Structure 1
Amino acid sequence: MEARNLRRKGHGPAPLRIAMIAPPWYEVPPRGYGGIESMVADLVAGLVRRGHQVTLIGAGRGVDLRTYEQPPSQRIGDPMPEVLHAAKVERMLEDLVVDVVHDHSLAGPLGAGSRAAPTVVTCHGVVTGEMGDYYRALGADVALVAISSAQRARGAHIDWVGRVHNAVDVATFPFRDLKEDWILWLGRFSPDKGAHLAIEVARAVGRRIILAGKRSEEIEHSYFEAYVKPRLGQGVQYVGEADAELKRELLSKARCLLFPLQWEEPFGMTMIEAMACGTPVVALGRGSVPEIVADGVTGFVRGRVAELPTAVEAVESLDPAVCRAHVARHFDVPVMVRAYEHVYHRVVRGRRTGSPHDLPLARS
């Protein structure tokens, strides 16, 4: 109570009781792949440091309330684990007294209308087509947050309550000024991520490339077998899926991160992880890339794959310290936490006074 009173006397927003709902697919934080789960873990830690009371609901280790003893990662694509997760969450919320629910799952927001507290939903993926229809159908039951301006623009017909960039805990990423002379591609093996294009770019400049990525889903296996495996060999090394330790080692040592994106990705966590290590990013300017990478400062943003080899050769002109400072200023956890605090207080006030959409827009 003393801390709550201090905050109310001008030392920041009043502490809140927050139920944080993670998706069911990976642990929080994840041992390997899991961008949403990493973001959720960092957000929870940051909120707790700011004096908020957070109850984390998810699967596996690291959560306060568990819907699955082991995350059903092998069943990604099957709707039932997501639906069962949502049903269990609703029962758990009945026993909690919270000021706001922050839901990162897909099916969970369907229960928002029956919740006593307002629900904030972060849209982590596509917001067009049927997904856009879904978010619009949720209506006033939820307050929707975009993770980039690019995503928000693509969902122009969605009634957003704000835009908050994802973040990383910069202090946990090792900074390295002197880089080794090879290129890194890091992600999941999907046509959207363009691993085969990264190999072609590396070969065009005669440089070694290391690939580290997830290929646990059927579509990832099919893409790897058809487009990546035939290109492995001299100068191309696949090291498997990188856990947190290996990921940091690779990101800190690489000459650059190559990001030949083939879709309008709403936010690429790998880019800010690389720059946090002082490693520049060479990317195609799709989705959120232009608002994450400062072209000519923390990397190079280009319009065509044919332009990437020249950009790879030019990264030596960029300052690793500037890359890290860029992330610390715009994409560190405290920046994200303050932005979500604004969102939470906005929707709580909106619940009391009418509509959160009459209050100032939240941005990070």
Structure 2
Amino acid sequence: MRIAQVAPLYESVPPKLYGGTERVVSYLTEELVKMGHEVILFASGDSKTKAKLIPICPNSLRFDKTCKDPLIWHLYMIEEVLKRAKFFDVIHFHTEYLHLPLATRYNLPFVNTLHGRLNLSEYVPFFKIFKNAPFISISYSQRKPLPWLNWVANVYHGLPEDLYKFKPQHGTYLAFLGRISPEKRPDRAIEIAEKFGMKLMIAAKVDKADETYFKEVIKPMLKSPWVEFIGEIGEKEKNEFLGNAYALVFPIDWPEPFGLVMIEALACGTPVVAWRCGSVPEIIEHGKTGFIVETIEEAVNFLEEVKNLNREDCRKSFEERFTARRMAEEYLNVYQRVILKEVYKRAV
């Protein structure tokens, strides 16, 4: 099968540091190549892949200080995809909504995975225009704001099975990994660590949009003796960081569409203590692979119980539910339905 994968250009595929969507696109692309499919990846020029790479811009846009308008590069990429459309059996867009006005005007065999939050009021009039296009969610929770879209499948993210090594021993610190932002609630994580009495290691990036929040809210909290801020880390450092942790603390305050860090922790055997928000109840099995909480007090109390969890159950959950092979197989099933034009029927 000839499959086009169309990635966002903000990060390389895979990203050098933070970047959930581009990381998932990389895992999917490499798995499809391994399975014998001809994959063409549209991405930034600094991407690394065994597929055929069509570079759109020289470097990922987040690290390109000369780029003043990232939108123009994405529109250019969509044009490059459409010019080659007749050569693909299926086109898989990961660019949220940018391609929809053009892709729906042509008889293109395409499908669209939505990776972001959908609970924005301005999305409603736009997506209603394109509600019959084939959409894929990354959690059932993600669908809730737009239940009337033509949801043709739900495909949970997956990781290569050998990417993270299982660590059987409980670690000695709490881990917070991802992004410093109000909706990720690192302030909650710090308060939990202080009340539980265990060191919190924070490995996170600070986007420009969140610099004020970091300086005014989080930076003063980093003076706590219970906190160590190590900044943004990449793929190579994650295994040790997550695997050696007692638990991953995931105290989000927004409808997280998926939360890749949760399955990264599970792959290492590390339990997750997470807020009951977004996709969390679909990923974490309460009392088995972690605990789902609604208050700081609950988080502190359940952290005491983490030592009684079997870390092998966490790894087993990852192997059974969240591998890249399982993800690729489910997407291939959708691609077949695209080719047979079955995805243009009502939602599954």
The TM-score with structure 2 as length reference comes to 0.92
Q: Secondary structure at the match of 1:193?
A: coil
User: Which sits farther off after the overlay, 338-347 or 249-258?
Assistant: 338-347
Per residue, is there more helix in 1 or in 2?
Answer: 1
Correspondence 1:98 to 2:88: yes
Q: Is the 8 A contact 1:282 1:299 kept in 2?
A: yes
> In the superposition, relative to structure 1, how do residues 118 and 157 fare at CA in structure 2: closer, same or farther (>3 Å)?
same
Q: Is the 8 A contact 1:126 1:132 kept in 2?
A: no
Partner residue in 2 for 1:133: 125
Partner residue in 2 for 1:55: 40
Q: Secondary structure at the match of 2:277?
A: coil
CA apart distance, 1:221: 1.4
CA apart distance, 1:131: 2.6
Partner residue in 2 for 1:250: 241
Q: Is the 8 A contact 1:284 1:305 kept in 2?
A: no
The separation in 2 between residues aligned to 1:153 and 1:40, in whole angstroms, is: 24
User: Which sits farther off after the overlay, 320-329 or 103-112?
Assistant: 103-112
Q: Deviations over 1:312-348 (max 9, x none)?
A: 1110011111101101101111111111111111121
Letter in 1 for 2:125: D
Letter in 2 for 1:25: Y
Q: Is the 8 A contact 1:274 1:281 kept in 2?
A: yes
Q: Is the 8 A contact 2:31 2:325 kept in 1?
A: yes
Q: How many residues align?
A: 339
Partner residue in 1 for 2:17: 32
Correspondence 1:119 to 2:110: yes
The separation in 2 between residues aligned to 1:86 and 1:168, in whole angstroms, is: 29
Q: Secondary structure at the match of 1:275?
A: helix
Consecutive unaligned residues in structure 1, runs of 5 or more: 1-15
Partner residue in 2 for 1:144: 135
* Among 206, 211, 220, the residue aligned to 1:230: 220
Consecutive unaligned residues in structure 2, runs of 5 or more: none
CA apart distance, 1:159: 1.8
Partner residue in 2 for 1:241: 232
Q: Secondary structure at the match of 1:213?
A: strand
Q: Secondary structure at the match of 1:226?
A: helix
Partner residue in 1 for 2:190: 199
Q: Secondary structure at the match of 2:340?
A: helix
Q: Is the 8 A contact 1:208 1:235 kept in 2?
A: yes
Q: Secondary structure at the match of 1:68?
A: coil
Letter in 1 for 2:35: R
Alignment of 1:273-284 (within 5 A): 273-284=264-275
The separation in 1 between residues aligned to 2:117 and 2:189, in whole angstroms, is: 24
Letter in 2 for 1:214: K
Q: Is the 8 A contact 1:180 1:255 kept in 2?
A: yes
Alignment of 1:40-79 (within 5 A): 40-61=25-46, 62=48, 64-73=53-62
CA apart distance, 1:306: 2.4
> In the superposition, relative to structure 1, how do residues 209 and 283 fare at CA in structure 2: closer, same or farther (>3 Å)?
same
Alignment of 1:164-175 (within 5 A): 164-175=155-166
The separation in 1 between residues aligned to 2:60 and 2:322, in whole angstroms, is: 28
* Among 279, 282, 285, the residue aligned to 1:294: 285
Alignment of 1:212-361 (within 5 A): 212-215=203-206, 217-233=207-223, 234-350=225-341, 355-358=342-345, 361=348
CA apart distance, 1:136: 2.9
> In the superposition, relative to structure 1, how do residues 359 and 156 fare at CA in structure 2: closer, same or farther (>3 Å)?
closer
CA apart distance, 1:208: 0.6
Q: Is the 8 A contact 2:171 2:243 kept in 1?
A: no
The separation in 2 between residues aligned to 1:149 and 1:79, in whole angstroms, is: 36
Q: Is the 8 A contact 1:24 1:82 kept in 2?
A: no
Correspondence 1:108 to 2:99: yes
Q: Is the 8 A contact 2:57 2:73 kept in 1?
A: no
The TM-score with structure 1 as length reference comes to 0.88
Q: Is the 8 A contact 1:99 1:117 kept in 2?
A: no
Q: Deviations over 1:132-168 (max 9, x none)?
A: 433332244x311010011123321222111111111
The separation in 2 between residues aligned to 1:174 and 1:60, in whole angstroms, is: 30
Q: Deviations over 1:253-296 (max 9, x none)?
A: 00000000100111000000001000000011100000100000
> In the superposition, relative to structure 1, how do residues 155 and 320 fare at CA in structure 2: closer, same or farther (>3 Å)?
same
Q: Secondary structure at the match of 1:172?
A: coil
User: Which sits farther off after the overlay, 176-185 or 103-112?
Assistant: 103-112
Q: Is the 8 A contact 1:346 1:359 kept in 2?
A: no
CA apart distance, 1:65: 0.6
Alignment of 1:76-87 (within 5 A): 80-87=69-76
Q: Deviations over 1:170-211 (max 9, x none)?
A: 311021111321100111011010101100000001111100
